[in-house]
Structure 1
Amino acid sequence: MRYRLMTATSAVVLGLMTAAHAAEIDRDGANAIRDNLNSLLPEDIAKSGVVAVNPAGARYEIIYDLAKLLSKINPADFAITGLKPISMFATPRDNGLWNVEGDNSLNVSGHFKGPDQKRTDFTYSIASMVYTSVFDPAISYFRSGDFSARDIKVTTATDTEQVNASFGDMKYKLTSADGASADRADFAVNGTLTAFAEQVSGKEMPPLQITADTIDFDAKVNSLPTKRLRDIVVLALDHAEEKQMSKESEETLKGMLRDAFPLISSLEETITLNNLAVTSAAGGGGAKSFSYRLAVNGPSNATQLGVALNAADVTFDSPMVPAAYSAFLPQAVDVQFAIPDMDFAAFGDEFMKLDLTKPPEGGEDAGKKAVERLFRDGRFVIDFPKVSAKSGVYDIDISAKVESRIDAGKDDYALQASILARDYDKTIAAVQQLAKTNPELNQASFGMLMVKGFAKTDPDGRQRWDVTVSPDGTVTVNGQQLKGPDKPE
């Protein structure tokens, strides 16, 4: 058994720091960097010469010949052609950091077999990949950087389906700052992809095309234990070939995880597609903007996960939708939901009880206990702070809270919701108009009139229904009981 944890971590840090403070760029410094980088690779791969480092004036040139990584792979399972060496330049700074820059391109093709043993052919091409960044050996990651790529194209094909995707340009910026406590850091990245296009076609489906003028992304993570995470990754790589973890390795891993916890204090991610368009044989549609947002925040014993989806100026154009119903298609949609009060501290405590040196027997019971502690004895809440939809004939806002158990039956839940509708009479009139040509909608319009009888009117003129469903099955609307408790089975 080989334990390379200390050499893999300290060699990269100490070796690069030594080279950074060297009086001059020379062959000895290049060899030291090469050896340190190789220490992170399996021995047979390192000996194949994947990494080469050469003095280049006031900096070092680092060359990765990735094709040599594939020398041990069966070409029937995976093969690639056109893979050229990637070159980058590293310049030491007085503070132990490194300026790293590069300008490369990519144009490869090949094939691979998936778990189902079906063959997939692929091509990837990038006309230009340019970056300037600052690398920190102490965390084995970049502290900052500006990255760009141009003319990106990807194609994958199986015997039943083909996907073509492309981007015009990609630009993004990475920044970092010291975290709230020692050995932790905050990272942020933002950027834009232009001229996105994707086409999907297959034997059993008509062609589908998705395009967007731009895709904007913005993400940040706070209080990341960078050095500890680096050590965990190195430990995992060091023992990747072992079939079973030893007791010593288990204690080391659990100690690292314990020291690294909590892994973050908050995380946010937002992706926005601008001027999105979808076209197919069944019709098309799009939106001026479509955005997705993920947020994780709060203390480790009361963490909240939130997701939001928003679409503005939505359009539909499909022969499958009769013209009389087009007014009911939403023009704007906003969906927000969150799972609050998750106890990741208790979840982590349960994980620490697992015996990682043995096969995962009884894993289902262990997983159930961990989830029960994550959701405080198996009870969880889903908040819907806002669910809204708007068209030419309706304008609806809903907020709700659902409480249930992860192991509950379908009737073991509680609901509190508020439904608000603007111009509700206009919505009823639109349904009644449709009922003239579709008599089946008469029942729907009658039901809407009954619902209106339970409504309250808010100061802004909207109709309101506050709905409560109790765990015993009782249903009330605006304080009026519509249904009593369920009868005992």
Structure 2
Amino acid sequence: MRHALSLLSIAAFTSPALAQAIDSNGASALQTSLSAYFGSTVFDEGAIRIVPSGNSYRLEADFNAIMGLLPGGASFDPSPLLLDLKPLPDGTWELANTLRTSGWFDSKVPEAAMSANWSIANGQLKGTYDPALAAFSSMKMSGGAISLTMREPAKDTQVTIGKANIEMQAERSAKSGIDISATQNLSDFVETVTLRDEGTELQVMLQAKRVAAQTTAAGLQSKPFLDFLAFAVANADPAKFKAKQAELKTLLLAAFPLWNRLRGDQQWYDIKVITPFGTFGAAKVEVTGSLDGISGQSTASYRGQATGLTGPTHLLPAWAVPLVPSDIDIGLGAKDLDVETPLLTLIAAFDLNKEPPVPDDVGELMQRDFLDKQPRLTIPRSTMGNADYRIAVEGEITVVDEKPALRAVVDLSGYDKVVEATKAGAVTDPTAMRIYTSLLALKGLAKTKPGGLLQWAIETRQDGALLVNGTMLGSPDPKP
């Protein structure tokens, strides 16, 4: 239901609010506007209705009727979704809805058999849709005592949330498109997954006191997205779609770069993961990711951080317990990504009237286009450790002529503590012995920095040579 609601919300009011009085003519005009994005069938069959209701229009969506228009077998709670759509003097639309307190869904499709039911207390949705932005200029959604249960042949999932609040804002971007920001806050999040296999069950429970998320999109091309949706609906027949592929390519190019910059952040607080093997925990887990739009020099980044890590120690040998990290901070990035040139090559080459639609050699051309800019994989300073030791790494991998080259620096503090732990275990444990002897060998290659920090500068070259702190450990590949 959540996804269906989002789809309705995004495409609902693509024309400016109607100036005339709320009446059947206005409802008919709004239906015509919506038909460009949903097709006329859902209205002709009564799956979606728009009727005057006081000083607004009421949209009624019957999901059972909608599913009846699709292949497969699925049914919804027969109660329709109701949205109140009020035209405002400035051409925008106000949307309001008191979310249903409960509902259910049941799919009988063999490859996607699933049933679900949900409930929510005091659920509210309110927003303002601006056709000039092709997006909500503002939106708020809230609710409490949320419960969702999903049943599949081999898995059951139950989610409960104490309170949920979601807010979103959008405004025109300085250059093109729109800038969107959204926040989400959940309290008392609990997810229980039960897996079934040949008569056995495995249950895992995730608990978090609070979950927060922030999303921003700069320069999002919302209008070209809707133009493409309208084209797809108007040309749903394969023959029409093929006949208008020149227009299709124009619409695809108009959507470039999709967005300028997309970023998402998520934080989980006071986490517990309860399993049959014991309870794992973390004080905080944070994940951050960003991605440029389509360009000849895009970048991407990812960072995952966890602090206050805990877990059952009975799963480990005694010598390894002092080496369990209490915190982890890992980052990855990419630079000089030419995403635009390969996609332009693909769009120019495909022809839906031929078989195959994309010539066989296009894949190789796209790969060459991508590698010509010498993309780089970056490792920003990443660390792992506890109060006794810490290992850190940062570096970069560059691809030239389809051959990678690596430059990285690895630091280790608390070397003596690590050696002490592995030495104690080496007496009886072959794994500890291998780690212990490797550590002794690695120290001979290290540079000792102030404070006893050990450092290894690692370099692999395109010719296959391997160097550590300037000492060649691997010779270049033989020349052909």
TM-score by length of 1: 0.87
Q: SS in structure 1 opposite 2:250?
A: helix
Q: Find the partner of 2:338 among 329, 343, 348.
A: 343
Cα distance in 1 for partners of 2:191, 2:118 equals: 14
Whether contact under 8 Å (1:341, 1:375) holds in the other structure is no
User: Which shows bigger deviation, 105-114 or 286-295?
Assistant: 105-114
- 1:177 aligns with 171
1:155 is aligned to 2:146: no
> Contact between 1:336 and 1:386, CA under 8 Å: does it hold in 2?
yes
Alpha-carbon shift at residue 172 of structure 1 (Å): 1.3
Could you tell me which of 115, 120, 138 is aligned with 1:121? 115
Q: Aligned match of 1:40 in 32, 37, 42?
A: 37
CA 415–244 in structure 1, closer or farther in 2 if over 3 Å, else same: farther
Matches of 1:356 and 1:129 in 2, distance apart? 48
Match of 2:187 in 1: 194
Q: 1:477 aligns with which of 464, 468, 475?
A: 468
1:141-193 per-residue CA deviation (whole Å, 9 max, x = no partner) reads 312111113333222223332222222222111111221224x1111101112
Between the aligned partners of 2:13 and 2:459, the Cα distance in structure 1 is 60
Query: Is the 2:104–2:117 contact (alpha carbons within 8 Å) kept by the matching residues of 1?
Result: yes
Q: One-letter code of the match for 2:185? A: T
Instruction: Tell me, yes or no, if structure 1 residue 281 matches structure 2 residue 276.
Output: yes
Pairwise mapping of residues 55-204 of structure 1 onto structure 2 (< 5 A)?
55-73=52-70, 77-105=72-100, 107-113=102-108, 117=111, 119-182=113-176, 184-204=177-197
Q: In the TM superposition, what is the alpha-carbon distance from 1:302 to its structure 2 partner?
A: 0.5
Confirm or deny: 8 A CA contact 1:126 1:151 kept in the other structure.
Answer: yes
Q: What's the secondary structure of 1:389's corresponding residue?
A: strand
State whether residues 351 and 358 of structure 2, in contact with CA within 8 Å, keep that contact through their aligned partners in structure 1.
no
Q: Check whether the contact 1:83–1:107 (CA below 8 A) recurs between aligned residues.
A: no
Change (3 A) 1:440 1:94: closer
User: In the alignment, residue 30 of structure 1 is paired with which amino acid?
Assistant: A
CA distance in 2: counterparts of 1:351 and 1:220, whole angstroms: 29
Once the two structures are TM-superposed, the CA of residue 257 in structure 1 deviates from its matched residue by 2.3
Contact 1:393 1:430 survives alignment (8 Å)? no
Aligned twin of 1:370: 366
In the alignment, the residues of structure 2 paired with residue 252 and residue 454 of structure 1 have an alpha-carbon distance, to the nearest angstrom, of 62
**Cα pair distance change 1:318/1:281, threshold 3 Å:** farther
Instruction: Decide whether the 8 Å contact of 2:262 with 2:293 is kept in 1.
Output: no
Look up the match of 2:4. Answer: none
Q: CA deviation at 1:270?
A: 0.9
253, 256, 269: which is aligned to 2:251?
256
Q: Distance in 2 between matches of 1:340 and 1:216?
A: 28
The separation in 1 between residues aligned to 2:39 and 2:284, in whole angstroms, is 46
CA–CA separation in structure 2 for the residues paired with 1:59 and 1:240: 32
Distance 1:126 1:83 in 2: 17
Is contact 1:100-1:135 (8 Å) kept? yes
Structure 1: distance between partners of 2:262 and 2:39: 33
| 1:390-440 C-alpha deviation (Å, 9 max, x unpaired) | 12442011012223479x6xxx43211100111222222222222244365
1:229 & 1:81 partners in 2: Cα distance? 29
Alpha-carbon distance between aligned partners in 1 of 2:70 and 2:407, rounded to the nearest angstrom: 57
What are the within-5 Å matches in structure 2 for residues 240-319 of structure 1?
240-242=236-238, 245-247=241-243, 249-297=244-292, 300-319=295-314
Match status 1:25 vs 2:22:
yes
Shift of 1:250: 1.2
- SS of 2:309 mapped into structure 1: strand
Q: Which moved more, 1:226-235 or 1:385-394?
A: 385-394
1:112-138 Cα deviation digits (max 9, x unpaired): 255x63633332333443122111234
1:453 aligns with 2:444: yes
Query: In structure 1, what is the equivalent of residue 7 of structure 2?
Result: none
Q: Aligned with 1:316: secondary structure?
A: coil
Q: Counterpart amino acid of 1:242?
A: P
Note closer, same or farther for the CA distance 1:478–1:348 as it changes in structure 2 (3 Å cut): same
Using a 3 Å threshold, how does the CA distance of structure 1 residues 160 and 229 change in structure 2: closer, same or farther?
closer
**Which one is further off, 277-286 or 200-209?**
200-209
The 2-side partners of 1:262 and 1:362 are apart by: 22
Amino acid at match of 1:391: N
1:304 Cα offset (Å): 0.6
Asked whether the 8 Å contact 1:301–1:345 carries over to 2, the reply is yes
Q: In 1, distance between residues paired with 2:341 and 2:112?
A: 42
1:334 aligns with 2:329: yes
In structure 1, C-alpha distance between the alignment counterparts of 2:291 and 2:101, rounded to whole Å: 35
Classify the secondary structure of the residue corresponding to 2:295: coil
CA-CA distance at 1:305 after TM superposition: 1.2
Distance 1:470 1:206, change over 3 A: same
1:357 counterpart = 2:357: no
The Cα RMSD (Å) is 2.7
Question: Alpha carbons of 1:356 and 1:413: their partners in 2 closer, same or farther (altered >3 Å)?
Answer: same
C-alpha distance in structure 2 between counterparts of 1:129 and 1:11, whole Å: 21
| 5+ residue gaps, structure 2 | 1-10
Matches of 1:11 and 1:102, distance apart in 2: 14
Are the aligned partners of 2:400 and 2:462 in contact in 1 as well (CA < 8 Å)? no
Q: Distance in 2 between matches of 1:324 and 1:454?
A: 25
CA distance, structure 1, for counterparts of residue 429 and residue 187 of structure 2: 45
Which 5+ residue runs of structure 1 have no aligned equivalent?
A: 1-9
Aligned letter for 1:308? R
Q: How many Å apart are 1:261 and its aligned residue?
A: 1.8
Cα offset, 1:369, TM superposition: 2.3
Aligned equivalents of 1:11 and 1:479: distance in 2? Answer: 63
What is the rounded CA distance, in whole Å, between the counterparts of 1:262 and 1:136 in structure 2?
Answer: 22
Q: In 1, Cα distance between the equivalents of 2:205 and 2:12?
A: 49
Deviation for aligned residue 1:322: 3.0
